């Protein structure tokens, strides 16, 4: 799931409902989320919103039905006809160009009424929405995982050689039985044993050697038992020292677990920004960014340390938080978001 845009939090705050997970279009221009029982769509370029009541968001569609320009948002409506009829659902599409009524999936399915586009709420009148933290105890990198060859121990190599020797012996025995059958007479009966033994065990030996020598396992980058030391508060004009303590989760079958070599830490400020046209919008701005390296590694324990400093703060009310990102995908959503309490400047 992508990182939810602050405009969705602001709209949900005005509507009085908590926002759901965000869905983003392939070009990144549109985002949609459930707010109560309605689907709210935001246009991040034109800074406008669209509210579709009574439908559930499914996904953005780059190949909508004929006659509708891409991209479109696929939603699902739900109704209960009578006590004798079960609940039924219908797929619909909302065109994002002009927010026309949703197109039904079948002629018998009624279209869901929609509202027109409207500007985002003014954050100066609505106030800052409640901040939602994400403090998971475990995290697994969503970036493509590397693979490596499985290293065998001494006992593993001994077992591998014994298994290969048994397969080779049975294949050689089958070949020898075939040669015995060539002598003629009653010895042709050895052909009944030699052919299956040689065919089965020779193929099995080749497959065994190839598959075991090329056996690979996934290297899973993950952390467990994460705990962020963020202190009692911070001052924007003073450095902020933080640490993340975690452990390496135990390895699962067919993989090896490792901790990331570094993580990306960002100091974010959610504040109201004045646009050139006079409108006010709620934005999340990165005030400082650094790469946190592992400073202490004992057995399966890891400690990442970093220092952030914001500098002069923006005027007006604001919310501060720190966001930790995977170094392999720094532009993706953060895996940990923790709020910070701003202290008065000295």
**pLDDT tens string 153-167:** 788 778 878 888 888
Which residue in 291, 145, 140 sits closest to 226, CA to CA?
Answer: 140
Within 13 Å, how many C-alpha atoms sit on residue 131's CB side?
21
What is the pLDDT confidence band of residue 185, given thresholds at 50, 70 and 90?
A: confident
Centroid of chain to Cα 297? 26
Rounded CA gap, 56 and 60, in Å?
Answer: 12
Percentage of the chain beyond pLDDT 90 is: 19
C-alpha triplet 94, 99, 103: angle, nearest 5°: 35
The per-residue b/e assignment along 2-17, b for 16 or more CB within 10 angstroms, e otherwise, is ebbbbbbbbbbbbeee
Rounded CA gap, 286 and 289, in Å?
Answer: 7
Condensed to tens digits (0 to 9), the pLDDT of residues 58-103 reads: 889 888 877 777 788 888 876 543 444 444 556 788 888 654 444 4
Which residue in 59, 51, 61 sits closest to 19, CA to CA?
Answer: 51
Rounded CA gap, 114 and 72, in Å?
Answer: 14
Residue 227 confidence (pLDDT): 93
Rounded CA gap, 113 and 102, in Å?
Answer: 7
């Amino acid at each position: 799931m992508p990182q939810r845009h602050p405009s969705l939090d602001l709209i949900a705050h005005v509507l009085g409902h908590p926002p759901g997970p965000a869905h983003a279009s392939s070009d990144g221009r549109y985002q949609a989320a459930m707010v109560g029982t309605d689907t709210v769509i935001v246009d991040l370029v034109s800074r406008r919103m669209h509210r579709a009541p009574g439908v559930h968001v499914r996904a953005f569609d780059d190949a909508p039905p004929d006659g509708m320009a891409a991209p479109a948002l696929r939603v699902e409506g739900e109704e209960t006809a009578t006590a004798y009829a079960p609940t039924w659902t219908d797929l619909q599409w909302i065109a994002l160009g002009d927010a026309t009524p949703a197109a039904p999936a079948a002629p018998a399915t009624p279209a869901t009424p929609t509202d027109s586009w409207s500007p985002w709420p003014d954050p100066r009148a609505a106030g800052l929405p409640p901040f939602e933290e994400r403090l998971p105890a475990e995290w697994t990198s969503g970036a493509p995982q590397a693979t490596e060859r499985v290293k065998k121990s001494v006992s593993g190599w001994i077992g591998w050689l014994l298994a290969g020797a048994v397969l080779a012996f049975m294949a050689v025995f089958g070949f020898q039985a075939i040669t015995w059958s060539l002598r003629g007479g009653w010895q042709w009966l050895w052909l009944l044993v030699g052919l299956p033994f040689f065919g089965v065990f020779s193929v099995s030996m080749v497959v065994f050697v190839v598959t075991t020598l090329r056996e690979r396992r996934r290297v899973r980058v993950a952390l467990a038992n994460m705990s962020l030391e963020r202190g009692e508060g911070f001052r924007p004009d003073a450095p902020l020292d933080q640490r993340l303590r975690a452990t390496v989760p135990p390895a699962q079958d067919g993989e090896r677990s490792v901790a990331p070599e570094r993580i990306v830490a960002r100091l974010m400020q959610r504040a109201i920004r004045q646009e050139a046209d006079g409108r006010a919008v709620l934005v999340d701005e990165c005030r400082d960014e650094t790469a946190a390296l592992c400073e202490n590694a004992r057995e399966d324990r890891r400690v990442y340390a970093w220092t952030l400093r914001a500098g002069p703060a923006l005027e007006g009310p604001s919310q501060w938080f720190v966001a930790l990102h995977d170094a392999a995908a720094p532009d993706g959503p953060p895996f940990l978001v923790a709020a910070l309490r701003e202290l008065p400047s000295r």
